[in-house]
Amino acid sequence: MTLEQLWNGWRAQYIASAQSSNPRASTSVFTQILESGLSDIESNIVHRGQTVFAILNAFPYSTGHILVLPYREVTDLEDLDLAESAELWATVTQSVRVLKVSHRPDAVNVGINLGATAGGSISEHLHVHVVPRWNGDSNFMTSVANARTLPEPLADTARKIRAAWSI
């Protein structure tokens, strides 16, 4: 028997909470984090560039899941100016390099969801997912127990990634 569908039921609740928890509907959760006054350590920001930054996903698909996004809140790739676009993709590439040093994955997924229908749970603020993958990293926990198995706290992950960023 082959697996034809893998249900990820917890995502619907997360998407709904992300949309309803935004007290200022015109501002994304990423902009709220940037404006919060929290330190990079408290907010799990692992890199700041001139026009973009990298932050750990608070609801990661796997340990080391990085989001790369512009400071400026835009919804589509074509909304980026040339400097933002160049730095965004350079930072995505650097994120892959960093994860290969910090976590030694077998592979890396890089993806972007443009619009809510494409799967973008925070579609008002463009972000690129950089997700390390390991052979055998899929398990049944998400589909049967509505839980993720993540072997490392976000703070430890952030520390490893920050250390590898300068390499």
Task: Count structural domains, the chain.
Answer: 1
Residue 78: inside a domain, yes or no?
yes
Q: Would you state the pLDDT for residue 140?
A: 46
Residue 159: inside a domain, yes or no?
yes
Residue 2: inside a domain, yes or no?
no
Residue 5: inside a domain, yes or no?
no
Residue 3: inside a domain, yes or no?
no
Q: pLDDT tens string for the chain (167 positions)?
A: 454 544 555 555 555 555 555 444 578 999 999 999 999 999 999 999 999 999 999 988 889 999 999 999 999 999 999 999 999 999 999 999 999 999 999 999 999 988 888 877 788 999 999 999 998 776 544 444 455 566 788 888 999 999 999 86
The domain that contains 30 carries what CATH number? Answer: 3.30.428.10
Residue 119: inside a domain, yes or no?
yes
Active site residues: 127
Distances (CA, A) of 3 to 20, 56, 70, 144: 33, 30, 37, 14
Q: Would you state the pLDDT for residue 78?
A: 96
Q: Would you state the pLDDT for residue 144?
A: 46
Q: Would you state the pLDDT for residue 9?
A: 54
Q: Would you state the pLDDT for residue 69?
A: 97
Residue 26: inside a domain, yes or no?
yes
Q: Would you state the pLDDT for residue 147?
A: 54
* Domain extent at residue 19: 10-165
